């Protein structure tokens, strides 16, 4: 399983141990600092989109239907699916 770390905290830790310069470090020293960083609190993002299904909008991830009075305009009824939590916002 991947381990995610906070890059900003890693840079601060390296600066603290080295005075800001890495020239005196060897590979083992750099790896030790990286591997000893605490895991960041992250959650995998599941993305979906609302698909028109008659008077309903359906989640493309879990296929749950949600009725909306006027979903013909294509607006989001929810930014996240209430059933599965998929992020329905468009990624730029």
Burial-class residue 43 by CB neighbours within 10 Å (0-12, 13-18, 19+). exposed
Per-residue pLDDT in tens (0 to 9) along the chain, 92 residues: 678 888 888 888 777 776 555 556 677 777 888 888 888 888 888 999 988 877 788 999 999 988 765 555 555 578 999 999 999 988 77
How many CB atoms lie under 10 A from the CB of residue 47?
A: 12
Distances (CA, A) of 7 to 11, 12, 13, 14, 59: 6, 9, 10, 11, 34
pLDDT score for 70: 55
Residue extents of the structural domains in the chain: 1-42, 43-92
**Residue 66 confidence (pLDDT):** 84
pTM, to two decimals: 0.52
């Amino acid at each position: 399983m991947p381990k995610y770390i906070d890059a900003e905290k890693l840079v601060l830790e390296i600066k603290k141990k080295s005075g800001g310069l890495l020239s005196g470090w060897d590979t083992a020293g750099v790896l030790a600092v990286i591997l000893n960083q605490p895991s960041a609190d992250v959650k995998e993002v599941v993305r979906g989109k609302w698909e028109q299904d008659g008077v309903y909008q359906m989640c493309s991830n879990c296929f749950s239907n949600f009725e909306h009075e006027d979903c013909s305009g294509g607006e989001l009824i929810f930014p996240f699916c209430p059933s599965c939590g998929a992020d329905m916002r468009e990624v730029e």
